[in-house]
Amino acid sequence: MSTNAEVVHRWFEEVWNRRNLAIVDELLSENSISHGLMDVEGNVRRGPAGFRMLFDAFTSAYPDMNVTIDKTVSEGDYVVVHVVVRGTHLGEGIGVAPTDRQVKFSGFCLIRVENGKIVEAWNQYDFMTMYQQLGVLSLTLG
């Protein structure tokens, strides 16, 4: 049996980097909750179906997207990862016309694993940096 950290690492490598959607049902609980990655109506994403909608949006926007786990901390049922996301914006999946620009942004995920499946995740990604890199958001401070 895999450790909880191994489940999370496998999730990012198999699902996000290798686009192996067959593994989603194996690693994601049917009743899972993904906080911080809302659907278009502002609801938390639930279960594999909710995840697949998010996955489709991001992989259509960034077909070459790659997620690298930079740091991992694991305690009990919880795994925290700091990740770096890279990709080229070639599609409209995130509601922005393709810019052909490269992005690199980071995020933190606190993931609860039970019996080898992800059951709940709290996600905080630096989407502001992503949108700045795409040229659709400018921020002036001071």
For residue range 42-73, what is the model confidence (pLDDT) as tens digits? 888 999 999 999 999 999 999 999 999 999 99
| Overall domain count for the chain | 1
**Each residue of 72-87: pLDDT tens digit?**
999 999 999 999 999 9
Nearest to 83 by CA among 16, 7, 32: 16
CA separation for the pair 14, 3 (Å, rounded): 16
Domain annotation covers residue 28: yes
Per-residue pLDDT band at 1 (split at 50, 70, 90): low
- Single pTM value for the model: 0.91
Domain annotation covers residue 10: yes
127 close to 137: Cβ distance less than 8 angstroms: no
Domain annotation covers residue 142: no
Q: What is the CATH number of the domain that holds 21?
A: 3.10.450.50
> Can you give the pLDDT at residue 101?
97
Domain annotation covers residue 93: yes
User: Which 3 state secondary structure label does DSSP give 111?
Assistant: strand
138 close to 125: Cβ distance less than 8 angstroms: no
Domain annotation covers residue 140: no
Domain annotation covers residue 117: yes
Domain annotation covers residue 26: yes
Domain annotation covers residue 141: no
Per-residue pLDDT band at 112 (split at 50, 70, 90): very high
DSSP class of residue 44 equals: P
Query: Is the predicted pLDDT of residue 142 greater than 70, yes or no?
Result: no
Expressed as residue numbers, the domain containing 79 is: 4-134
